[in-house]
Structure formats: C-alpha cells, structure tokens
Structure 1
Amino acid sequence: MSPHSTSTHAPDPTAGEPGKTSGETREGPAETRTRRTTFASQNDIEDTILHPGTVRINVQGAFITDDEPVTPRSEGEEYEHDPRDIRLPNHTAVVSHIAVDIGGSLAKLVYFSREHNGTSVGGRLNFLKFETEKIDTCIGFMHKLQNDQQQLNGSKPEELCIMATGGGAFKYYDRIREALGVEVIREDEMECLIIGLDFFITEIPNEVFTYSEEQPMTFVPIPPQPSSIYPYLLVNIGSGVSMIKVSGPRQYERIGGTSLGGGTLWGLLSLLTGARNFDDMLKLAEKGDNSTVDLLVGDIYGTAYNKIGLKSTHIASSFGKVYKAKRAAEREAEDGCNGDGKHHDEDELVQGSSELPHTPAKFRSEDISRSLLYAVSNNIGQIAYLHAEKHGLPRIYFGGSFIGGHSQTMNTLSYAIRFWSKGTKQAYFLRHEGYLGAVGAFLKRQPRNWGRRSSFEDTRPSLH
C-alpha cells in the first residue's frame, strides 16, 4: 500500500522573500548600498589568480536572491538559469574557476560573477542546468564564460579552471579539455554531494526547509554548531537514487539506493505521454487526477481501512485500474465492430499487431503523469525511511534534480516519511537541491573549511 492520499496540491513553495535568521544581519538591496573599500592588495589578487586554492569565499551576509538571473543568454540557447542565485555581498577576491556536475540526465553548472551594478561590491553564485544529451551546449556556455572571465571576475581566459564531478566528468573529460584548452580537475561525486549539502545546511540562510500542504515552506535555521547536523541521511534523486549515511565532515558511506528514480519517471512518461522534457511532465502531473488510473483503498473496501490506518484515498495499487479499464474498452470495441458476435482468432491477427483494432480506453496524460510521479516518489520515500530507521539517522535530506521544487513531489516524499515513521522523522528539502554536487566541486577548489565564518578569524588579512 502507498501512504500517499490524493488531494489538491499546495502553492508553489519557491515563492517568498528570504528573511533574516537568528544572529544574522542582511544588507539592503544592492541599489542602496555604497561601494566599500576593498583591502585586497594587487599582490593578493595576483596570488589568487596564480593559486586559486588560496581564495576564501566570504559567505558573511550571504542570501538567496529573488531577482531575475543575470546570466548572459544568446537567443536559441537551451539551458535554464535557476532564479535563486546566492548573493555574496562581502566577497571581493578573484575566483578563477567554475564547476560542473554532469549526471545521466542533466548537467548542472555553478560559477561566480561580479555584480553588474557599479555601486555594489561582492558578487553571486550562479546556477544553471542543461540536458546532458546536449552537453555541447553546456561546453559552449563554459567557453563563453571563459571569454568573459576578465569582465566577470578580473581573471584572464587562460587562467580558468574547470572543476568537474559526476559520471560525465569522466565521459566528457577529453571533450571539455580540448574545447576549452584549460585544466579540468575531476572530483569524487559522493564527496562533492556531501560537501555541497553541508555548505547549504550550515552557511546559507533560508536554504533548508520542511514541507507540508498546511505549511508549504517552513525554513530551518542555520545550526549554531556545524557539528550538530550529524549524523544524517542524504537521499540524492537523479536519474537513479543513492542513499548516503553522513557521520561527519567528509565521513560518508553509501548504504543503499534504487534504480527507480528520475530517469524512470522521465523514460516512462516519454513513452506514455507527449511531454518533451522533465518540466513538461511535472506540469502535466500538477493537472492530473491519479484516481482514474490508480486503484485506491476505497475502490476495494468502499471506505477507509481504519484498523490499519489507511484512508479511502490511499493508493492500493499504482496503475491498478488500467488493465481492467483497457480490457473493458477492448471488449466494447470488439462487440461494436463485429455485430454478428464474431471474435477474431489468434491466427487472424495482423502480424506484429499486439491487439485487435479498437478504440482504446482514454487515459489522460495528466492522470498518467500524476500516478507515475506518486509511484516513484512513494517508493523512494519508503526506502529512505527504512534506511534511516535501520541506521539510526534522525534527519533525512532529499536532494537531486528530480525534486525540482515541485510541490507534489515534496509533499509525497514528506508524507511518506511521516507516515512510515509515525511522525518520528522529518523530511528536509533545499532550494538548490539539484546543485549539491556542483557546489561541492566548486568548494573543492578552496582550502578545507573555506566557507565557515570562523575561517576568517585567523591571522591572515581579510579580503573584504
């Protein structure tokens, strides 16, 4: 039985203005801030260009923007710029590298750029994604960034370094290096995921949140002590699903997973609907009614099964109504086409045909999309709970491009965790859930502990 019950979906959780967290202060809009004097000497800047690993990204005052993306885009280019860039108002040092996480379905790109407003200091982390099958578009965009390095960051094109992770970091290594003529450093995928997630949890306000239909987006404060976040379970949902137990900084173990992930949903809906991309599939699911496709508890019992805690709207069998409805439509079509009651024998069928000519049962693409989304999400949620329970992990973080800020997906995963744990465990989500690996690879170019606010309390002169 699936724990998910059908209901109307909640408002889009990606809306809303980032606010302040306890102990954090935030500057006003960039237009009203005056330019600060930077204390980085020319020698400091030259040193960071020649030795990028010495750059320390200043996250003090960081916040998520809600403005329009500033990424330059040429007409006809196929990529998506996430509208939630991260402003780093106090970072002034040169950053001469970009990071890319190339998965089986999507390539995620992260890079730093200066603010275009001449009255603002600092800059921002930009987030973009490309379909992996169009990797040349991604490489072309990186080439454009390379040409614009001087303007974006103050470094020269030949000084660019590519930090790459994911399976595509190996598959497309030669192609990237030959196209850009720069150093490409490959990093371990799992380690990058953990580094990226730790950074978001401990350093970026209004990044982590819980989700329910009653409270679509409840932000989780930054923990006072970074070490208090461990242990936890990361459920990374990309083309497939990996479940990673994290015991401490860079201390992790893959404890399970499933091949039924985003690639499963994408592949099956490509066969069953006319949707051309993943976003279209999610939009279809928003408009769907899975009760026309799924067999519900109420369809079997006529009511709820309260003794074991199942509502009448709980899913008893995903796609459970399809076979019966389809066969009924076929019989009706046969009877209509053959008034004399004749039925075709097997040897009368056209070679290669799987069924008699008929008017098939009408299953809307929207209903199919919603049913399959629930099926995949419920399966992931239950497996995640079982791993968390087995290993004694109190917190479960969901990451990966499969989620995409989609309300139904988050509600299904969150509901599944609450249902199976009887309310003892909570699902946590991130506003940049698809960029954990890319951000982790970006941070790998920095010294250990680069992003901690305490890392600036040392004897070296400040770069802001």
Structure 2
Amino acid sequence: KSDAEELTSLCSQLALAASKCLSPAALRRALAELKELNGSAQIVNQVAAKAKDDANAVIADPKGSGAQALAKLREAPGVFGLDIGGTLAKMAHMLPADEQFEMPLTFGKSGKFHGDLSFKLSLNGIFHEVRFVSGTTELLEKVLRRENKEDRSNGHDGAAPRVMRRVVAAGGGAHRLADLLLQAFAVEVVPFKEMESIVSGISFLHAHGPADEVFEVLPGGEQNTVAWPLPLFPCIIVNIGSGVSILRVDAGAKGEPKTFTRLGGTATGGATFLGLSKLLTSAKTFSEALELARRGDAAKVNKLVSDIYGHDGCENLGLPANMTAAHFGKLVRNEAREGCNEADVAAALLIMVTQASAVLAKAFAQAVQGSQVAPVPASAPACFSPAERPRSKLPERSQTAPLDDLRELSPHYQQWLTATPMSRRTKVKANLLGAAEVAGARRTPVFFVGGFLTNNSKAWDLISRQFRNLECGPAYFLRHADFLGTLGAVAATFSAEDEA
C-alpha cells in the first residue's frame, strides 16, 4: 500500500480502537505513539481529536447503558416531556396506570431516575403515573453523537425507517439537539418556548400535582408543607437559573390557558454564584461552592445595618439588625480581609445572589397588588387630609424619622394620634418606614423555582429569611420546581391531542 493508504487505514483502526478502549491511560499512550509517526500531522491531529471524543463518551458510558436506556425509553408507552437546558437535560414520563414499563434506574454516568418525585393523577378518567429523569446535557449529546456514528459505520442508513415519535421539548437543547435525536432515535422534537413551559408546568401542578407540592421554610430552617395560596392568581414566578427571570401569571378566561408577562429579571443568578466562587475560592463545582457557603459566616464579609446604626438604632428604624447594608462592605478594611476565609466569601456570594432575587420579587409583587408608598412631607404624615393637617409647621425631619420622635415634636401629632383609628395609623407607619402594608390587603403569592434552587436548602432558607425581613409574606417553593418545563411539555402534548 502507499503511505497515504496506510495512513488512512491506520486512522480507521485508531478510531475503531478508541471507541472500544476502556482505559484512558492506554488511549493516551497510543495517541502519543501515533504522533511520532511520519505522515500528515494535520490528519493525525484530526483523528486524535475524534478519538478523544469517542473515548470520552465510552469512558462516561463504558457499557453503552445510556444509549440502551434511551432506546428503551423511546419505545415506552405514554407521553414524554423534555427540558434540555445548557447544564441538565430533564424528562417527565406520564404512563397510564394499566401499562407496564420498568424505568431504568441509571442512564450512563450522570443519568438518574428520581423515584422520590413520582406521583399519580387522573386525567379524563384515566389514572396515570408521572416519573422523572435527569442527566447532564453534555453526556446526552455525546451519547447521541456516538449512536449516529455507529449507525453510519454499521450501514444502518439504508435500513427500513422506524416509526417517528414526536416529543415536545423546552430549553435551548430542543433546537440544538433536534437533528441528533431525529437521526439517532427517530424522535421528532417539537420546540416549546421556555417561559411558556414554566407557566404551563406550574398550572399543571396546581391542577394535578401531589398534595404536598408547595412548601415554605420556617425561621428554624424546617420545611413546612402548605396549601396552594388562594386566590392563586395573579402570582409571581421567580425562575433562578444561570440568570433570573421574573414572571407575572394571570388566570385566563374560563376555559382559556393562563396568561403571563415577563416583568424583568437580573443577571445576578446561579452562574454568578458559581463563576465568582471559582474565581474567589477553591471551589471547582457548584456542589463544592454550596458546601463552602454552608460552612461560612457572611457577617464577616458583608456590612450589616447593625454595623452602621447599632442594635438600638435598628429598632428605631424598624429594620432587622442582620439585614445586609453593603455586600462585601467589610472587606474595605484590611484587617477584615485577614479575619475571613473562603467559606465566608462563598456564604456572602450566596446571600448576594439570593437577595438580588428577593428584593426584585418584592418590588414586582407590590406593583402587581397595587401597593404604592406615597412620599411623606416633612411637615406631617402623608395620610392627613387637608382638614386634619396641623396648622403649625414641624421642624424639617427625615422621612424615616421614628414615630416616637414625631410625637415629641408636636402636640398636634399627639392630638391626631389619639383621634385617628388604628388602620389609619398603620398606613402612616407604612408611609414613613416603607415596610408595613394596609391591613387586609392581599399579598401576591411569590414562587421561587429554577435549577439553582434544586436541593439547595441553604438558598431556600436565605430567601425565606430575606422575605420575612422585607415583610412581604412567605416565599413559596415547589418540590418539582426543576421539572416545570418537562411538565409543561407534557401538558402541551395532552392539549394538542385533545384538539386533534
């Protein structure tokens, strides 16, 4: 054979060997020896790169269990919903109760069946069970690419076409991996807009989910199962992923789907926490960063309200002493930097990210319920009518002056206080301190969801404490918060079938 033919043959043999190799060390040695051969360095490097990708897929899934499990799922009865994000790929599978299907417990290296999240429901008089699976998007893509490559190498391109299966999918991967799913498993992906899938998912849970779906976190950190708030709509959904999006959801007309509006969001989300944790601490993964945050004391890094006003001053202001005044504010002083460690930094980062979402959520929730804080003239409380307003002028005071100080400044204020009902006085305090609400006002329910909160009990506790500090009612969490997109996709599939 010519040198070119020998090199081509060698390349093919190497690619085949790499796909079967179970030893990373042996593969590295083989690649090193190959590079020493005379020939086209460009071709050798290309083959080496392809071999490395093949080997990584095999190492991650050495027995092909991921591909086997996906092939088995593809033939399963029932309805699927996918949510393929940048980090995790998630699936919900709704199976009629009279159908038998054994769900694989694992899918390669990262895939997992979440048996604790399964629940049963009744739709159109038929009982179903909903099951959940998740794994990394990166390994899913590698398995799909390897399946496509093996099909081509085994000459399956000319085989009889399989019956197409159509699946609704949310997330960016619904577009990016659509061709791979079609070629590898004859699955046609129907993309579903991400925000719409979240709203559809929470509506599905409200109508059909388990009784213990909603929970809040008590001051001691314990989870407390609660009923869905009534009325539920309008409500706020705070979706914390890499970034944060905040949605308002309203009840649709009778028989119509829920409507939603994206109110806003922030770029300070889960990716901010992980990125800064990697930059400022030794953490390399999200789990490591969370573990550091659990051990740390953010008060060694953040400047608190009590650091500025003292505890007595905080009481006069009506503000919690442990409220953050400035993130990382103590590190301005050199001695403070020497007194903190990386766990304290991670804890401060987690507070910064969760607080950004909590403060925004409060502002949007108040806007939804029509709560407005009127400016307070220096001369009198904002809720005085013209007839009630004292004739004498009070000295110039800050709008946040405590009520006790105002009482001492003017006998007119004392006279008004005695004659005014408590409800009116509550409104005065709300205007002065910007914290309390008018008695009887409906608080807009706020749900915190998203991948950042999955099994993140520390974040649940922080958000709940921040909501209590801001006096905006309980923060609600969902047990299936990370699978809202998949449940929305399942609901969309049923809606399409009903229309058909």
Distance 1:174 1:157 in 2: 15
Q: Relative to 1, partners in 2 of residues 1:139 and 1:213: Cα closer, same or farther, differing over 3 Å?
A: farther
Q: Is the 8 A contact 2:178 2:189 kept in 1?
A: yes
2:308 paired with 1:297: no
- What is the correspondence of 1:168-247 to structure 2 with a 5 Å cutoff? 168-204=173-209, 205-214=211-220, 216-221=222-227, 228-247=231-250
2:373 paired with 1:365: no
Percent identical across equivalent pairs? 31
Residue identity opposite 1:375 in structure 2:
M
2:91 paired with 1:109: yes
Deviations 1:15-59 (A, max 9, x none): xxxxxxxxxxxxxxxxxxxxxxxxxxxxxxxxxxxxxxxxxxxxx
**Number of the residue aligned with 1:323:** 332
Structure of greater Rg: 2
**Number of the residue aligned with 1:313:** 322
Q: State the number of aligned residues.
A: 310
**Number of the residue aligned with 1:167:** 172
Higher relative contact order (Cα pairs below 8 Å, separated by 6+ residues): 1
Q: Relative to 1, partners in 2 of residues 1:140 and 1:99: Cα closer, same or farther, differing over 3 Å?
A: farther
Deviations 1:372-400 (A, max 9, x none): 00111011001011001101261111110
Residue identity opposite 1:376 in structure 2:
V
Shift of 1:160: 3.8
Which of 381, 386, 401 is the matching residue for 2:451? 401
Q: Is the 8 A contact 2:84 2:171 kept in 1?
A: yes
Q: Is the 8 A contact 1:97 1:163 kept in 2?
A: no
SS at match of 2:453: coil
Shift of 1:289: 1.1
SS at match of 1:386: helix
Deviations 1:340-371 (A, max 9, x none): xxxxxxxxxxxxxxxxxxxxx47433211111
Q: Relative to 1, partners in 2 of residues 1:222 and 1:296: Cα closer, same or farther, differing over 3 Å?
A: closer
SS at match of 1:313: coil
Shift of 1:315: 1.9
**RMSD across aligned C-alpha pairs, in angstroms?**
3.4
Q: Is the 8 A contact 1:399 1:434 kept in 2?
A: yes
Shift of 1:403: 1.0
Shift of 1:241: 1.0
Could you list the runs of 5+ residues in structure 1 that have no partner in the other structure?
1-73, 79-93, 144-155, 330-360, 451-464
Distance 1:193 1:325 in 2: 46
Shift of 1:436: 0.7
Residue identity opposite 1:103 in structure 2:
G
**Number of the residue aligned with 1:434:** 482
Distance 1:306 1:418 in 2: 16
Shift of 1:256: 1.1
State TM-score, norm by structure 1. 0.59
Distance 1:109 1:141 in 2: 21
Q: Is the 8 A contact 1:200 1:208 kept in 2?
A: no
Distance 1:431 1:75 in 2: 33
Shift of 1:139: 4.8
Q: Which aligned runs of 4 or more in structure 1 are off by greater than 6 angstroms?
A: 140-143
Q: Relative to 1, partners in 2 of residues 1:174 and 1:289: Cα closer, same or farther, differing over 3 Å?
A: same
Q: Relative to 1, partners in 2 of residues 1:123 and 1:390: Cα closer, same or farther, differing over 3 Å?
A: closer
Distance 2:61 2:258 in 1: 37
Distance 1:273 1:419 in 2: 29
Q: Is the 8 A contact 1:103 1:238 kept in 2?
A: no
Of the structure 1 ranges 257-266 and 440-449, higher mean CA displacement relative to structure 2 is found in 440-449
Deviations 1:231-284 (A, max 9, x none): 111111111111111112331111111111111112111222222322222222
Distance 2:184 2:87 in 1: 21
Q: Relative to 1, partners in 2 of residues 1:429 and 1:196: Cα closer, same or farther, differing over 3 Å?
A: same
Q: Is the 8 A contact 1:243 1:256 kept in 2?
A: yes
Shift of 1:187: 0.9
Residue identity opposite 1:265 in structure 2:
F
2:130 paired with 1:125: yes
Q: Relative to 1, partners in 2 of residues 1:440 and 1:77: Cα closer, same or farther, differing over 3 Å?
A: farther
Q: Relative to 1, partners in 2 of residues 1:129 and 1:160: Cα closer, same or farther, differing over 3 Å?
A: same
Q: Relative to 1, partners in 2 of residues 1:242 and 1:449: Cα closer, same or farther, differing over 3 Å?
A: farther
Distance 2:183 2:260 in 1: 34
Deviations 1:196-227 (A, max 9, x none): 1112223221011122224622222368x9xx
